[in-house]
């Protein structure tokens, strides 16, 4: 290996094999309880929870450790309302034909439509931005690498952290998403990646049957 500065790995934890198996099983059971939810309560969620979850997301691996992401945590009713109005306008044209027949058919079992009341109702919207240029320091302007992969992993960490804190999420990707850059006043080197709606579920929240169908281990895995 090339010479480089490094510290000893001092926070790794090893578990006895039995415990490792039990932990992996428990983790699977925990993640299995995560569902994408579209019925949110307006019950407030402390900012500290959102901060901790974003900190957890920020530990994700990334290309050259450039951490090519920025999270805009939106609590302001005014900003949420602006996002709702613009997202619904785009979604209306999407559902009225822009999506095409095959896509609309694929969405039918989820029951989605152009109305997005949760964008104004949920206590937090987290807009995730990817950065084409940046670097290990926030003020850098170097090339970033594997941006999509890196931001995808960080988003996965964030979803997991929010779930583990006892909140529910919706991964929302209005198409196009450029309006989010304007509303959130993000610079030119950033692209809106996803909008994560988060909060408590409404009392009558439902999960579409379609979303409960998960491929089996055999279907998603090959052991060689």
User: Which residues bind to ligand IYR, rule: CB under 6 A?
Assistant: 91, 107, 110, 112, 172-175
Nearer to ligand IYR, 26 or 171 (CB): 171
Closest CB 197 distance from ligand IYR, rounded Å? 10
Nearer to ligand IYR, 64 or 205 (CB): 205
Nearer to ligand IYR, 63 or 95 (CB): 95
Closest CB 157 distance from ligand IYR, rounded Å? 20
Closest CB 98 distance from ligand IYR, rounded Å? 11
* Nearest residue to ligand IYR, by Cβ distance, number only: 112
Nearer to ligand IYR, 26 or 93 (CB): 93
Alpha carbon distance 183, 104 (integer Å): 28
Please report, to the nearest 10 degrees, the dihedral formed by the alpha carbons of residues 213, 217, 220, 224 taken in order. Answer: -170
Closest CB 113 distance from ligand IYR, rounded Å? 7
């Amino acid at each position: 290996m090339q010479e480089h500065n490094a510290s000893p790995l001092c926070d790794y934890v090893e578990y006895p094999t039995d415990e490792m198996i039990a932990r992996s099983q428990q983790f699977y059971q925990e993640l299995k309880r995560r569902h994408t939810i579209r019925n949110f309560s307006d019950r407030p969620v402390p900012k500290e929870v959102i901060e901790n979850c974003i900190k957890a997301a920020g530990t994700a691996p990334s290309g050259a450790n450039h951490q090519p992401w920025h999270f805009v945590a939106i609590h302001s009713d005014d900003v949420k309302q602006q996002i709702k109005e613009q997202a619904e306008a785009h979604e209306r044209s999407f559902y009225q034909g822009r999506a095409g027949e095959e896509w609309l058919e694929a969405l039918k079992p989820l029951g989605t439509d152009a109305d997005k009341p949760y964008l104004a109702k949920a206590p937090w919207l987290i807009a995730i931005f990817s950065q084409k240029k940046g670097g290990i320091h926030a003020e850098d302007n170097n090339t970033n690498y594997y941006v999509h992969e890196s931001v995808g992993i960080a988003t996965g960490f964030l979803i997991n952290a929010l779930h583990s804190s006892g909140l529910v999420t919706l991964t929302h990707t209005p198409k196009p998403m450029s309006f989010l850059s304007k509303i959130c006043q993000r610079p030119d080197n950033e692209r809106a990646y996803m909008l994560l709606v988060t909060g408590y579920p409404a009392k009558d929240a439902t999960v579409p049957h379609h979303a409960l169908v998960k491929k089996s281990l055999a279907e998603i895995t090959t052991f060689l």
